Amino acid sequence: MVGVAAVGALRHRLDRSWRRPRNGNIVIAGSPLRMFRLTDSGINVIRQLEGQVGSGPTTDTPASRLLLDRLVDAGALHPLPSTGPFGVADVTIVVPTHERLPAWLADAAACGAAQTVLVDDGSRVALDTPAKVTVLRHESNRGPAAARNSGLAKVATALVAFLDSDVSLPAATNLGDFLTALLVHFTDSRVALVAPRVAGAPGATWLAGYEQRHSPLDLGEQPARVAPGTRVTYVPAAALLCRTEALREIGGFDESLRVGEDVDLVWRLVAAGHRCRYEPTVVALHEPRASLAALLGQRFGYGRSAASLASRHPGAVTPLRISRTSALALGLIMLRRPLMAAAVIVGATVALGHKLRGLPPSESARLVGLGTLGAGRQLAAATTREWWPPAVALAVLSPRSRVPLLAAVLVPTIERALADRSLQPITDAPVQLCDRVAYGAGVWAGAVDQRNLNSLLPDMR
């Protein structure tokens, strides 16, 4: 159930995971899924959120605000503020770049922002910038984290926007409107960072089309809180709007990271008690890679950063989060013991019903079934990405293991093709497999460099 409704003056959007079985006193929603048991007054608040007729007068009390706060923190609700305390004049725009100028730089200087700071990170030839742009120059290339930190040091406003030079805006969007649409989220004093959707820019090449469909920077159409272990675990620094004070409190970007510095920043903000939001109704466009080799090199670099992130954030980086029950059921399926797997799933359903009193049996079955299915998809993804080297080695040594490996490659592609009613997932599949293999190779390379295998280990609970 997804909808938009208001309690008091603030509007919210229900997360797509939202369920209230039998319109009762239990809500199941969020990422990861959580169960909320409601009081009578809580039920009235939830009815207002769901837009039910006859739900009673609109309430705005400390208790209702506390409930809403818990739901937002769980990712079950997404705030839709219409106004905020800041305007574009409260923003400084920081543009880290190397050997290029964005076409929109003059617009940035004229959009009403307090200042636009371009950080030239060691370009061989000085860049010709508009007069209203403040230029900081690094004599050598120090990386995107250092460039952003240099810009951050010059910020005198409450908010700072980081926009990479290979990012642009849709034709109908100007920079002032783009920033304004993100600014409203800072109504919540705990929000330290808001990120737009970073979609692949349209292009005439097949590679541009592939990136539009499979860019790791594009986190989809659904709003989300951003935190480790949730549906949206990170946001790219290609386009960010941040609270200046919060960034300075945690020391800005980690300059020792050439890749993954944006993931690290978000996770440190969350660990410090701040909220980070993903707002996909606001869109920036990212320039596609020029060649397949460049794309695979980028994916390898992303994978290589996993070990460094795992060292800094124990438990946050894993190829697979899975319950012991799901692991046992999937293991039995791979061993061709479907009846035993079914017995495990039935047992888990009964156990969940006993644990969560008041949950309808059908809902217990649904949760266990969806959990096992989701774990199967994660396992297939990990097998063709982080775990492909041992999976291929096992397939060479054991003919019996080839069927599960083939299923991990083919089933997700067929599933997407059927869901989309399109052959595009099938034509994309060879490049996507190379994409995943490159990322996985990077994870292994990083693990060897860091002498830390945590980024390759499952999180089994």
Q: What's the half-sphere exposure (Cβ side, CA atoms, 13 Å) at 154?
A: 21
pLDDT at 270 over 70: yes
Q: What is the percent of the chain with per-residue pLDDT over 70, rounded to a whole number?
A: 96
> pLDDT of 381-432, one tens digit each?
999 999 999 999 999 999 988 999 999 999 999 999 999 999 999 999 999 9
Task: Name the band, by pLDDT with cuts 50, 70 and 90, for residue 23.
Answer: confident
Integer Cα distance of 224 and 275 in angstroms? 11
Rounded Cα distance, 63 and 42, in Å: 8
Q: pLDDT, tens digit, for every residue of 432-447? A: 999 999 999 999 999 9
Architecture of domain 88-288: Alpha-Beta Complex (3.90)
Enter the tokens of residue 40: 């009578």
pLDDT at 4: 57
Q: CA-CA distance, 325 to 372, in Å (whole number)? A: 8
Looking at every residue in the chain, the average pLDDT score rounds to 93
Rounded to whole angstroms, the Cα distance separating 198 from 141 reads 25
Single pTM value for the model: 0.93
For 167-201, give one letter per residue: b (16+ CB within 10 A) or e: bbbeeeeebbebbbbbbbbbebeebbbbbbbbbbb
Domain ranges for the chain: 4-79, 88-288, 323-374
Q: Of residues 10 and 286, which shows the higher confidence score? A: 286
What local confidence, expressed as pLDDT, does residue 11 receive? 85
Q: Are 244 and 159 in contact (CB under 8 A)?
A: yes
Which pLDDT tens digit goes with each residue over 214-256? 999 999 999 999 999 999 999 999 999 999 999 999 999 999 9
% of the chain at pLDDT higher than 90: 82
- pLDDT score at 127: 87
421: left (phi over 0), alpha (psi -120 to 50) or beta: left
Tell me what pLDDT residue 205 has: 92
pLDDT at 51: 82
Angle, CA 41 vertex, CA 39 and CA 45 arms, to 5°: 110
